[in-house]
Structure 1
């Protein structure tokens, strides 16, 4: 019996061990199933079901000895919080929940996973602060919390995680500081803290203790002060990006002593002084010091950086010559030195020893020739050298450069013929060589990719001949001020995409081609100062997009075809021809007063133009001198009385004439209308007043034969003339030329010395704010019948329409247009609740796509203004995106833009609501909230928060907004993280 006892005990022990082990395995599976249930059984986890197969085979689950050690659930469309039960997976070492819809604060459950080595919660909606005891996760080597909504400070405890090698905290809302204790992370290799709203902070000297740090990225993080000299002690540093901060002072020389430094980004700061002489940093592969205030010369030792692939020094104040050694760098691809004060010649070997891709040296004072070997490596995509003093012939290496996309060398002194191979370069899209001394003839064939051809102000000659379809993609053709002869070829009218054609100041002869109706896309046509003859074709009247037409200084004859009156021209010049007859009635106003000069045969029915009046009758002959003398001799006294009477009448007529001219209305129409200024002016009375604003009053007027129109009257005021004039001209310039279903139609403008009138199509349902906000609903009700709340389908329809109007302005207008005052009161509704953007008085055209401009005075409406615009006055399309985001929040919540306490507005209030992890459904407009619409309303609310990100880089563009609202890309916004940056 005693011999059996040890065996029995062993059996019991093994049985107990196996039971506990099996129970542990079952425990892990149960935790996973509870986790799935907590997340409401998402489709991505549908294979997590109890079965004969082990949970270790489930997607995203990795086990060791049947214990769950890795949970990899990135991109699984998981929504909700991370529950405390997760901490029951005691053996987890790897946890990845990135790119989901996780909300709430930093999960407590993660705190208890003491074995964690890798933690990735990036690209979610987690809010609040990082816990002060984050160092409980003492084994972490990888921590990624980027693209969430964390706020506050980065805790000092993060510097007490000794094994940490990778720390990603970029793209959050941190608004406090980052601790010097980060310098204690002796094993740290990558540190990313970019794109946060830290309070103004300096780089801590403790960072120099990070001897193993290879990548440091803190761009756009409100860094101030100078770059510390001791940064040279970070000996392992390979990639340094401190761009888009407020750094000042000189670039420390120690920076260029880092032997391992490969990439250096310091652009968009306020750095000054000279660039240190480069001696030690022989591993640099990319240097970007652009958009600073650097002075002095380019260090000669840059020519010793054999691994350098990119050199960006543009937009500084650098002077002197470009070191020749840079031209012999074997790895150089990007060479951007534009907008400096550089002089001398370009290194002649540039491109000879490397496969150069981008060559941009425009806006300097460079002389000499372009380097012969620019495209020697066969990879050159762009030659941008305009606004210099370069000369000579173009290098032959450009002739067979099939990789070229753009050549922009205008405003230099180049001469000779353009190499034939350059005209036909396979991928060439832009050839801009104006303001040089080029000679020769145009080729019959060009690159089929060519869309932009500018050759004005040169000495090209011969005829313009086009063969085949090689010119078919041309959009802009500017050949002004050359020596072209012959006729305008018929083939030129067959270019379907042509929008700008400038052939003025040449020696062209003959009549215009008969098939000009093919120019359906043409916006601008200038054929002035040639020797063209014949009649002006009536088919011009059928070019729907033509807005500028100049045929002056030619030999055109005959009548002006009345069909020209159907065009909506903002500029017309037919002067100095041999035209005759009456000008079209549409142009009988002062806006076109100089459009018909020096045509002796032309006449008008309006005496205010500089033309003779049509059908004027000769004045009756006066009495003969004999009769007059007899009358005087017989009735001297009567003559004296008549003279007094005549003088009195003349004085009165003169006064009336002056008074009439002073108050005479000038009429400029942009559409075909059948009413006159008198119809409009007579309706400007208080009984027709429907609204008023900062720039004037708005009236509803019945226009004869046209129906109702809306008239905005801007009264001249001596104290604000300049401001109002700018607003008036902005409205005219923009609305007079653009056409879109979701932009209010400007019919005409009428002005005199006292007032300016803008006449629009009348919008029956008034403005959106009158339908949304209680204090204005009474007005909307009285205007449109009994007030019924806008249901969600109408609100979404309005959002889509307004977004499409803004999208057209930003992406389809050239140049793009920024409205600057998008708000619900400037979104008007027609009888079917279709939305139209209105009130362009503050709009601003951008010179180039994406270019920032600065306005002298910030204008807009409180609650709608993007923070960077209110702070700096800088203008780009993203300020409209912010304002439109506020409108989306109004549509989903029913609250006004200024909703909140004295320190917040609707956008701030909405962001805080999401940051606190509160349900979005709680803030949706109770007046229209229905179960079937809640998900859609929630998505649009999220989009509104996304559009009102404090950092403009965190906002979508209007193309993306339209796609999201149309439902074509709804998951995109629901899955985007970091919806608001501080």
Structure 2
């Protein structure tokens, strides 16, 4: 279960923290033999792991070493999870004669099953989970200790069948084999012998399609049975009714069928029931006595009938998932009285009637989804009484009336989908609040809502659809992550805002059928990602801006039924439109050639015409001049052409000579080295290196945003970093620089900024990268003088940025040969694209160029204060652990909101964090005030703790980026 994973991870985090420097009590009882064996393990596995780095023959007694537990001086337990071990498990480990417990989970072992452990004769606990063990389990696996009570081999790469001898461990209480690649059948008879078994997990394997073995019913002591996603067929066997101690039953994501047997609802200790994604039919029993049930998920089946009223007796119930079935009738009122209900999902059924009137008043309701039913009436008044609600999905029903007043303070609300109902009244103004709002998606189209917008909508909106309502007032300014804004058929008035930079990421904009006046803003061209624009049916006047011609991804354009005048810009020839409607305006002049297409609608514009050679006869021919004028014009043109030709030929030779000299000069000066297929030349880049395109600068040079065009006229943006060279750069340094650029140019990873090419000259180096629309993470986290922070990033976005960045660094460290060390990991070097997905950038390429003229050490050259680890002061050689330190500081920035070096040399965020932890422990007071959220505080504190580990003083005790990534992924609950 997710909570167990979190607890396990948090305990491992605390173990790692305990390994930081501290004083050790001297032990009076030691075993010299065990001591030497442990030193042998340290020599075999190396001292680079967090625990083994502190093992030493001269340090504290081995019973006080990290990961070692003793009884009367003898080693009885070894717990070395998350140590990045690669070398096989040595046979010498079993020389620890008193060893009863061994935990080597979350390492990088990739051998076959370690039969060396057969000699550990006293083992009763063995955990080898979350490694990369391969091959079949040995047929004689029963040669492991007969004392074994716990065997965990989950999340590895074991294949083949499970040997029958697995059933010979008569004392076994927990057997975890889930998340491997086992196939074939499983030994039903062997499992049936494990009468002491309490926990059995076989989920997520590739077994042959067979029913649940009846022999499982012999395991009467089972409390936890996880059999999801393993190709089970048939019905739930009656023999499982013997498992009266079951607390968790998970048969989800299989091919089972038949009805859900009555006896399941009589298991009085059952807490978690997961039967989703099967083919169960029939009705749900209405005589339920399993009063301990906490979570029920019967979704994505073929269940019929009504929701039992007895569900209202399950006072411990927190989660009820019955979606995607064929349930009918009303939702029992008793469900509204459940005191612990947190998440209810009943969408995609045939439910009818009103919602329970008490729903939300008595429980911490957070997620409510009943879309695609036949429900009616008003939403319960107390739906958000406890201020926990973050998701309301009620679309495609027949709800009516005003929204409940409790929504007016529902500040955690993130997703609001109410479209296709009959709601009325003014939409709560608090939900448009820029300061408190968490809303991301609002889809309320096809209702009768009224009201007005604030001047600016919240920054975190990604999708807003209010079409076919009665909203009025001016069109609001949009900001932040907006992708879709549809407001068709309302009563909006005024002009379209000229400042459109806040919605530069929008892809779909629909303001049709309103009362909007004024011109189309000339700034419309900043909407580079716009795919569809509809502003038809308004009172918009003026000319059509030529900027439309540069919107390369625009495919749908509807400007019809307005008062637009003037000519259609010739730049429209650059567009690749699948739909165009310019009808019912006052446009005039010749229609651009590409628009003379019968599939486009340009009717009812009396002033439009086509050339005489056009095959389109729906428009008048553009008026021709008189014959006399034409003859005179032709003669004058002939005369002036001759004169012009003479003048032109007299100068063209000189011009060509000068141009040829300049061309040669340019090609001798600039050399382009491509790493990807390019649609631009060095001249297109050089022409954009002007001051108005500069977006940043640093010690080594400046950064520009340059607009480049391909041969078809399509435009795009690239980022150009101009690194100043030094006059005494020698040939060796030049080769080193180009060699390193080539390595980075060959990198292909979604979380590393793509280096498109390098352009070199004797004066500078130009590095051309893909353009990242949302700039750097630093810009979104910290207020800078004269620069406004766009808006605070919520925790889910911050976590995704951390995971993306960790993936990029993990690839550089573990996926490249040789490994690439970034040398300057910081929030300013983590860039964000239009979706706020992160990519690592700026891999210290200026370093080699600086070597030529600066007498600085590597640490001084490449680091940034606040992100530099302590060893920079005394070590000249660097390794991947300096990146881990810098990334740890970034994690501290993400969780605390504080800057890494805000106080100059007197302030270091990593030192501050360690001091706070040592003095006060973990506290929500450490977290960023702007994003504190009870739903995420535990996760944020765990990531804060991970950051402390990454910024530990000893490089060898910091985890690898692979382990850091693995830890972060545990908090990704999407």
TM-score (norm 1): 0.61
1:33 is aligned to 39
Which SS does the other structure have where 1:422 is aligned?
Answer: helix
Contact 1:389 1:412 in 2 (8 A): yes
Which SS does the other structure have where 2:263 is aligned?
Answer: helix
Contact 1:494 1:518 in 2 (8 A): no
1:601 aligns with 2:610: no
Give the stretch that moved more between structures: 966-975 or 430-439.
Answer: 966-975
Alignment map for 1:884-899 (pairs within 5 Å) = none
1:254 is aligned to 263
Q: Counterparts of 2:499 and 2:758 in 1: how far apart (Å)?
A: 44
Report the CA distance between 1:113 and its aligned residue: 0.9
Contact 2:484 2:509 in 1 (8 A): yes
Alignment map for 1:174-253 (pairs within 5 Å) = 174-180=182-188, 181-253=190-262
Contact 2:813 2:819 in 1 (8 A): no
Which SS does the other structure have where 2:604 is aligned?
Answer: coil
Which SS does the other structure have where 1:35 is aligned?
Answer: helix
1:331 aligns with 2:340: yes
Give the stretch that moved more between structures: 82-91 or 550-559.
Answer: 82-91
1:457 is aligned to 468
Q: 1:426 aligns with which of 426, 437, 460?
A: 437
Distance 1:552 1:301, change over 3 A: same
Q: Counterparts of 1:73 and 1:378 in 2: how far apart (Å)?
A: 43
Q: 1:383 aligns with which of 389, 392, 395?
A: 392
Alignment map for 1:180-579 (pairs within 5 Å) = 180=188, 181-424=190-433, 426-444=437-455, 446-447=457-458, 449-461=460-472, 463-464=473-474, 466=476, 474-490=482-498, 495=503, 497-513=505-521, 515-516=523-524, 519=527, 522-541=530-549, 546-567=554-575, 569-579=577-587
Q: Counterparts of 1:960 and 1:541 in 2: how far apart (Å)?
A: 31
Q: Counterparts of 2:353 and 2:175 in 1: how far apart (Å)?
A: 46
Distance 1:836 1:253, change over 3 A: farther
Distance 1:348 1:491, change over 3 A: farther
2:136 is aligned to 129
Q: Counterparts of 1:194 and 1:450 in 2: how far apart (Å)?
A: 39
Which SS does the other structure have where 1:271 is aligned?
Answer: strand
For 1:530-580, what per-residue CA distance to the aligned partner results, in whole angstroms no more than 9, with x for missing partners? 222222233444556655332111111112233444555554322221111
Q: Counterparts of 2:840 and 2:253 in 1: how far apart (Å)?
A: 30
Report the CA distance between 1:409 and its aligned residue: 0.5
Report the CA distance between 1:37 and its aligned residue: 3.3
Which SS does the other structure have where 2:268 is aligned?
Answer: coil
Contact 1:493 1:516 in 2 (8 A): no
Report the CA distance between 1:603 and its aligned residue: 2.3
Structure with the larger RCO, 1 or 2 (CA within 8 Å, 6+ apart): 1
Q: Counterparts of 1:799 and 1:344 in 2: how far apart (Å)?
A: 61
Q: Counterparts of 2:607 and 2:256 in 1: how far apart (Å)?
A: 68
1:74 is aligned to 81
1:13 is aligned to none
Contact 2:741 2:758 in 1 (8 A): no
Alignment map for 1:688-837 (pairs within 5 Å) = 747=712, 800-801=747-748
Give the stretch that moved more between structures: 472-481 or 186-195.
Answer: 472-481
Which SS does the other structure have where 1:244 is aligned?
Answer: coil
Distance 1:938 1:248, change over 3 A: farther
For 1:464-497, what per-residue CA distance to the aligned partner results, in whole angstroms no more than 9, with x for missing partners? 254xx88666443211012334443546676555
Q: Counterparts of 1:568 and 1:804 in 2: how far apart (Å)?
A: 31
Distance 1:939 1:239, change over 3 A: farther
Report the CA distance between 1:423 and its aligned residue: 3.4
For 1:900-933, what per-residue CA distance to the aligned partner results, in whole angstroms no more than 9, with x for missing partners? xxxxxxxxxxxxxxxxxxxxxxxxxxxxxxxx99
Report the CA distance between 1:253 and its aligned residue: 1.1
Q: Counterparts of 2:383 and 2:234 in 1: how far apart (Å)?
A: 40
Q: Counterparts of 2:231 and 2:709 in 1: how far apart (Å)?
A: 41
TM-score (norm 2): 0.61
1:94 is aligned to 101
- Count residues in correspondence: 669
Which protein has the larger Cα radius of gyration, Structure 1 or Structure 2? Answer: 1
Q: Counterparts of 1:939 and 1:138 in 2: how far apart (Å)?
A: 44
For 1:721-750, what per-residue CA distance to the aligned partner results, in whole angstroms no more than 9, with x for missing partners? xxxxxxxxxxxxxxxxxxx99x9989599x
For 1:386-443, what per-residue CA distance to the aligned partner results, in whole angstroms no more than 9, with x for missing partners? 1112212212221221221121100111122223333336322222110112234445
Distance 1:161 1:558, change over 3 A: same
Contact 2:574 2:713 in 1 (8 A): no
Q: Counterparts of 2:179 and 2:709 in 1: how far apart (Å)?
A: 38
Q: 2:180 aligns with which of 162, 169, 172?
A: 172
Q: Counterparts of 1:473 and 1:933 in 2: how far apart (Å)?
A: 32
Q: Counterparts of 1:747 and 1:538 in 2: how far apart (Å)?
A: 17
For 1:333-368, what per-residue CA distance to the aligned partner results, in whole angstroms no more than 9, with x for missing partners? 111011112122222221122121111011111122
Give the stretch that moved more between structures: 197-206 or 324-333.
Answer: 197-206
Contact 1:801 1:835 in 2 (8 A): no
Report the CA distance between 1:800 and its aligned residue: 3.6
Distance 1:346 1:24, change over 3 A: closer
Contact 2:371 2:397 in 1 (8 A): yes
1:769 is aligned to none
Q: Counterparts of 1:599 and 1:378 in 2: how far apart (Å)?
A: 55
Q: Counterparts of 1:441 and 1:958 in 2: how far apart (Å)?
A: 29
Which SS does the other structure have where 2:70 is aligned?
Answer: strand
Report the CA distance between 1:974 and its aligned residue: 8.5
Contact 2:478 2:500 in 1 (8 A): no
Report the CA distance between 1:52 and its aligned residue: 7.1
Q: Counterparts of 2:123 and 2:254 in 1: how far apart (Å)?
A: 35
Distance 1:437 1:975, change over 3 A: closer
Distance 1:510 1:33, change over 3 A: closer
Q: Counterparts of 2:93 and 2:710 in 1: how far apart (Å)?
A: 59
Contact 1:60 1:72 in 2 (8 A): yes
For 1:706-734, what per-residue CA distance to the aligned partner results, in whole angstroms no more than 9, with x for missing partners? 9xxxxxxxxxxxxxxxxxxxxxxxxxxxx
Alignment map for 1:853-868 (pairs within 5 Å) = none
